[in-house]
């Protein structure tokens, strides 16, 4: 089964589904409502990351419950969408970027399922390269880039953006971590479509507002949905991957 974790711009994904049922999935970390879809002859599980009405702020998302719910319904491959600011002029607003690394500056989030045993997962390739290849075949995307995750909900300062750039960051957002590493701990392939909504603070000539984020996402929504639909058509949802064996050699 394919999992889709949608931020802004993906809530309409169910419109092309041949069937859609909602299921309340129980996990050890809370219950999650999952939409179970039939699309293009494949089974898809969809979760809106910020819940109905975009009501949950980034620092309050129950990442463990979301990932565990997808695992519990049989998901083996996840595509997530993330709205981001750009620190790289080669990744302008309106771009779709597929990251290949991250820097984690989030602060108060529980970042592992393993609190009672020692598990060290490898994140040399944090984002699944096999899914990246499928996304590259599915639409116009920029391949590669380092995603910087901040705690939010405030935007970053110009000084923080300068620091992130010096450390090699290209994109900045508030929702990508620990989602990516929790998926790895559950041995699920994971990759992200980062929708560049604006240039980051100190790069953009204007003050940052959430309105411009929503406006850009709304503008790009048809292209984003078509990219996801093409991904669902193209991906081999039964293919084995190194991500599906991430715990081999990781447990002490």
Number of independent structural domains in the chain: 1
- pTM value is 0.94
pLDDT of 28 reads: 95
CA separation for the pair 30, 160 (Å, rounded):
34
Q: Which residues pair with 20 in a beta bridge?
A: 37
The verdict on whether residue 199 carries a ligand-binding annotation is yes
Domain presence at residue 114:
yes
Domain presence at residue 250:
no
**Phi first, then psi: what are they for 104, rounded to 5°?**
-105, 110
Domain presence at residue 252:
no
Domain presence at residue 197:
yes
The verdict on whether residue 91 carries a ligand-binding annotation is no
pLDDT of 120 reads: 95
CA separation for the pair 159, 138 (Å, rounded):
36
pLDDT of 187 reads: 97
pLDDT of 238 reads: 87
Domain presence at residue 174:
yes
pLDDT of 9 reads: 60
Domain residues for the domain of 157 are 2-245
- We report the CATH number of the domain holding residue 189 as 3.40.50.1580
The verdict on whether residue 174 carries a ligand-binding annotation is yes
pLDDT profile of the chain (252 residues), mean per 10 = 83 80 95 94 92 79 96 97 94 96 95 93 96 97 98 93 97 96 98 94 76 82 93 93 93 67
Q: Which of 155, 153, 149 is nearest to 179 (CA)?
A: 149
The verdict on whether residue 198 carries a ligand-binding annotation is yes
Q: Which two tokens stand for residue 198?
A: 């604006």
Question: Positive or negative CA dihedral for 91, 174, 139, 126?
Answer: positive
Q: Which residues pair with 80 in a beta bridge?
A: 5, 192
Domain presence at residue 251:
no
Domain presence at residue 107:
yes
The verdict on whether residue 49 carries a ligand-binding annotation is yes
Domain presence at residue 56:
yes
pLDDT of 53 reads: 62
The verdict on whether residue 114 carries a ligand-binding annotation is no
pLDDT of 90 reads: 96
């Amino acid at each position: 089964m394919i999992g889709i974790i949608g931020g802004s711009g993906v809530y309409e994904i169910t419109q092309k589904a041949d069937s859609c049922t909602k299921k309340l999935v129980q996990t050890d970390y809370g219950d999650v409502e999952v939409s179970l879809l039939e699309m293009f002859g494949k089974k898809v599980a969809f979760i809106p990351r910020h819940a109905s009405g975009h009501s949950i702020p980034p620092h309050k998302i129950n990442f463990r419950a979301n990932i565990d719910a997808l695992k519990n319904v049989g998901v083996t491959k996840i595509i997530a969408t993330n709205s981001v600011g750009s620190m790289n002029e080669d990744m302008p607003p309106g771009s779709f970027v597929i990251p290949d690394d991250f820097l984690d500056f989030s602060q108060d989030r529980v970042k592992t399922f393993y609190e009672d045993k020692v598990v060290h997962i490898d994140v040399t390739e944090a984002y699944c390269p096999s899914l990246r290849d499928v996304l590259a075949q599915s639409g116009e995307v920029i391949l590669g880039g380092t995603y910087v995750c901040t705690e939010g909900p405030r935007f970053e300062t110009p000084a923080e953006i300068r620091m992130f750039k010096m450390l090699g960051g290209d994109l900045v957002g508030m929702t990508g971590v620990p989602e990516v590493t929790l998926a790895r701990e559950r041995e699920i392939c994971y990759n992200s479509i980062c929708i560049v909504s604006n240039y980051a603070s100190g790069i953009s000539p204007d003050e940052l507002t959430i309105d411009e984020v929503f406006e850009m996402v709304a503008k790009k929504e048809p292209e984003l949905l078509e990219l996801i639909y093409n991904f669902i058509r193209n991906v081999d949802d039964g293919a084995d991957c190194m991500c599906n064996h991430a715990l081999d050699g990781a447990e002490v």
